[in-house]
Structures are given as C-alpha cells and as structure tokens.
Amino acid sequence: MSETTEISVETESGRVRGSVVDGVHRYLGVPYAAAPFGPNRFRPPQPVVPWSGERDCTEHGATPPQLPYGGGMEKFLGTAHVPGDEILNLAIWAPEGQAGALAPVIVWIHGGSLSRGSNALEVYDGTRFAQDGVLFVGANYRLGAEGFSVLDGAPANLGLADQIEALRWVRRNIWAFGGDPSRVTVMGESAGAITIAALLALPDAASLFDRAIMQSGPPDAKPAKTAGAVTRGMAKLLGVAPSRDAFAALSPARLLDAQRRATAGTTPITGGPAFALTLGSETVPRHPMEALTTGAGSGIPVLFGANTEEYRLWFVPTGLLTKIGWLHIVVAMAKFGISPGTVRLYRRNRPGASVGELFGALATDLLLRVPLNKLADARLAVPGAAPSFVYEFAWRSPVDGLGACHALELGFVFDNVDNAEAVAMAGPDAPRRLATDMHAAWVRFAATGDPGWPAWSAERPVKMWDGTTDAVVPAPREQERARWR
C-alpha cells in the first residue's frame, strides 16, 4: 500500500500544497494563468491572481471543456472530466531532491486534435519519469472553440498562447519544485507535436525550452480562411456571427454541441473540417515547416518520429478500413500529385494489402513520415545545427487489428503499459522491455540531449522500436520515401 504524506512549495503566486507518494512529489492543478472565462474569455492568458495561505494541489485541476470520443474511438481513447473554470493548470511530478541537484524537466503537451485531452488522463501520469530522475510537468491548454476558433475581435491560436505562458511559468518557477530551468524539454504527441513544431519555429524558441520531442505530429498550420472553416460552420449552426462577442455570449456547452455537429465525420487521415493552427498571427507568423526548413530552431536538439501504421487508429474503430475504395486513392492522387508509379510501388511492397491499407500507408507517409524526413534533412543542412534523432514505432498491437497505430507508443514512452487506456490499445501482454527501453531513451534525451542512438546523418539512421531487436535501420523503405518530392 502506498504511503502518502503532504509537502508544500512557494510559487510566484502563493504557496501550494502537494503530496508525496512512494517518494514522488505530486502537485496537481497548479495554476499558471487565470481562468479563461468571464472577462478573460477569448483573450490571451492573463496573470494568476495571487492567493494567501496554502492552496490545495493534491488533486487534478479543472479540465478544458471537451467532448468524449465517439464512433468507436472511445474504446481506445479516454476522456477525463474535472469541473471548474481554472483550466489553465499544471500537473507536476517531481523526484525527491538529491543533495541540492536540480532535475531535468519535461513539459508535456498532450494531443487530441486540438479539441480533446488533459493532464488528468491516467496514461499521462508522470510518476515513472519522476522515479527516473526527471521532473515531469503536464500542461492543460484551451481546446476546440475556446482555444482555436478564428473569430473577429479575438487573437488566433489562444491554446498555443496558453502553452507559451505555461513554458514561461516553468522557466520562472520550476526550480522551487527541484527542476532545472536551464534543462527544459518540451514533449508532445499528435496535435501536441504540431504545436511544438510551431513553438520551435518561433524566433524566441530558445527562451522557452532547450530540447524538443515531437511524436506523430508534423509542422503544420493553415491560412485563416481554411483554419476558420470550423468556426464559420459552428457560427452558422448557432445563428450567430463568427466574432468574439457572439461566441463569448454562448456557454461552453452550446459551443461544444455546435462543434460536434460541425466536425462530424472528420479524421486526420481522410480530412474534413477540423481545428488547426492559424497562420499569420503573432504566435504563428510563418508556416512552421517553412521556418524550420530554413533554419529556425536549428540550435535546439530534437527527437521526433511516427508510428508505422498511424492510420489504423482512425480506420479500424470506425470501419473505414473496409469502406475505402480505389476512388479514394484516385482522388488523393489528383489532390496531392501522387504518381501511378508510387501507388504501384506501395502496392507491390504490401502483397495482400486491402485498398484501405494501401490508402492508409500512402496517407501515413504523406502526412507524417515524409515531412519529418524533410525536416531532419533540412536541419542537417544548417551549419552548426543541433542534432536530430529520428525514430519509428513499429511494434504491432494484437488488439482488433490496430497494428502500429497512432498513439500506441504513449504507454511505452510513459512506461505505463499497465494503465487501463494503454491496455485497451496494446493488450495485457505488451512487451515490458520495450516500454523500459523506450522510456529510458526519452529520459536520457531530457537529461543529456542524446537518446542513445546515432543522430541524423547522410545515412538516415532511424531507431525502429519493434519490440524485438529495436535496431537502428539506415534509410528504411527508402525506395518509397524517394518517390515523394
């Protein structure tokens, strides 16, 4: 049985009380900005109002308004709901101090299509990182309509502005919890990785963090007209103007209902109206890929990669795997300039694959593997650039044909394969050695900037986490990758 005691720390806004469980110091629901409702709604993050006395931070703080997953996805992806308005909060897991030495820090930016997720999800518990000497911080940020609407009279990318404020708070305060403010790694998956790419592209990225980990998310942003399609669709459904005043007059629940209807049927692979980072704003002044491939962020070490069969998370639970036909591939060929020779090569390399699997393989490479390879190549070409480390998660889940799908690596990175959400995706017999080794590589990167395999070079080394040899493979599937330009 775990032994729990209480502990407290002084922050810039006041003292917070946490708990110590099995040697790990936990501070949950620590505010880094004021509640973004009332007069603060659809405004940049505002300062926390200082408090007197001791604030109870022994339980998770409020979670951002969001919808639970549906359409079969709920079997594999959970939702946490903690009521309250103070959603801009941090969850902190800190190792016990060792002779005054400060621990490396990881700040976790969760995924969820910019519309779901929170630091209260059990699969994101940072205990194992703290037990291995890393101070782990999970950050909440505004989601969906609250964080990524494109509204007249309101700044774009408010959720991204929240992340920036959280990172600034960490720089100023994390030493009090035993963390080293000069060794901060920002780490995210899916939409979290997309937002990290945007942060990495900022001119002052080095003032926010020192290293970056991007899992299954490419540098991306959309023009305001495209990014605002969901907002306009919601406004039409609600019978209001797409403006700050009109949206601020509506409850979060009404916005969520309109959001559900406006985004019905959308997936990251097949497309549809979805929240996205908006180009041309203060937080995303240039397209992140353009900025990063021309030298932005090149002084910051980066670890990034994707899963071999990303598409299966959306195609299997929804039944899309069997519904996709050749027409979908023909349309994709026309839209993205995919040559018939490329399709023939992918088909030849996957004997027995269904049309849906072929479409998924093409989409995974188009949306993730190829952009990340381009990013690694561009960073390599910058004189004196910091190293890039590339991985591919290839272990295949036996559950429901998920294979090496999107988000499967999370239980392994967090070394939480016994967590209910991780078990739902990977099954009860997930290889523990793979979790131990992958987690240890992420810890090494946070501590030293080197995860333990060769940095990107002309040989294109990729660490293949397959659960067997976990070998470093030079230029995997190079013939296919070379088909994309």
Beta strand 135-139 with 89-95 is antiparallel
Spatial distance between the Cα atoms of 64 and 256, rounded to a whole number of angstroms: 11
Distances (CA, A) of 253 to 45, 117, 144, 186, 387: 21, 17, 12, 31, 45
CB 389 within 8 A of CB 380: no
What is d(CA 419, CA 405) in angstroms, rounded to the nearest whole number? Answer: 18
Dihedrals phi, psi of 4, to nearest 5 degrees: -120, 130
Of 365, 390, 391, the residue nearest 380 (C-alpha): 390
| Active site (annotated) includes residue 354 | no
Instruction: Considering only the C-alpha atoms of the chain, give the largest distance between any 2 of them, rounded to a whole number of Å.
Output: 68
Helix axis angle for 340-348 and 326-336, nearest 10°, is 130
Which of 146, 165, 189, 310 is labelled catalytic? 310
Q: Whole-angstrom Cα distance, residue 357 to residue 480? A: 15
CA dist 4 to 53, 65, 416, Å?
22, 31, 21
Q: Compute CA distances 387 → 194, 298, 390, 438, whole Å.
A: 19, 8, 10, 19
* 94: DSSP letter: E
Our answer to whether residue 406 is catalytic in this structure is yes
Place of tokens 């931070």: 57
Q: DSSP letter string over 390-429?
A: EEEE---B-STT-BS-TTTTHHHHTT-TTSHHHHHHH-TT
Whether the CA torsion 114, 119, 120, 124 is positive or negative: it is: positive
DSSP states along 351-399: TT--HHHHHHHHHHIIIIIHHHHHHHHHHHTSTTPPPEEEEEE---B-S
Which one from 397, 406, 421, 439 is the annotated catalytic residue? 406
Residue type, 320: L
Beta strands in 237-363 (DSSP E): 302-307
Of 13, 113, 115, 190, which residue is the catalytic one? Answer: 190
Per the annotation, the verdict on 310 as an active-site residue is yes
Catalytic positions, written as ranges: 190, 310, 406
